A and B are shown apart, each in its own frame.
Chain A
């Protein structure tokens, strides 16, 4: 069971906007930055969002992140078929000797 909670699934139709939530606690999301990763089947994860809301070079601005208190959210606008993937949130935890926590992952289906 992951300490960071994500819905196991989400879905949307092409062009729609979807949001994926990530809920944690004071010692992790409440105290540290959140990052988001996209994992396509058979591939390594790819960094999508870091420091809560920043995009690495090359990540489309359709992807955005936000954080409030002990929760974070990843939003994808203008949904495309290639966005169908697994999405994970992550944050360091101050209570666990500096461990990194990942959410359980959300499988996004583009209908």
Chain B
């Protein structure tokens, strides 16, 4: 059974950066992509970016280009999202999600990490 366990809540100042982790266990994690999806308070789901199967290169939503970096540590099966130049609009719950197959659905999700940006 695949499990995605994320790091704890963060409180950040505007202009700073945040790095959230997602540790994967169970199953052939390296064979599937991992994406990050965020949800602002009371709002819908928004794809931030994803890392290719085998912890390859990242792909990013145009909205976040230049401000977000995805990385991975193969030795611990952990994926990271780093978001810089934070504003209050970045306040959201950030989820990591595993791609189920070639059609890109997200079959397993982390528990979510609340990132609050406040002065």
The residues of A with any CB-CB pair to B shorter than 8 Å are 2, 32-33, 35, 37, 39, 44-47, 50-51, 56, 86, 88, 90, 92, 96-105
Query: B35 touching A44 by the CB < 8 A rule?
Result: no
Q: What residues on B are CB-neighbors of A103 within 8 Å? A: 44
Q: Bin chain B's interface residue count.
A: 20 to 34
The residues of B with any CB-CB pair to A shorter than 8 Å are 35, 37, 44-47, 50, 59-62, 95, 97, 100-101, 103-107, 109-112
Q: Can you list 8 A-B contacts (CB < 8 A)?
A: A2-B44, A35-B105, A37-B106, A39-B45, A47-B107, A50-B100, A50-B101, A90-B105
Q: Which of the residues A88, A99, A100 comes within 8 Å of B62, measured between beta carbons?
A: A99
Query: B45 touching A105 by the CB < 8 A rule?
Result: yes
The list of the 5 closest CB pairs from A to B, nearest first, reads A50-B105, A35-B105, A100-B47, A33-B103, A44-B109
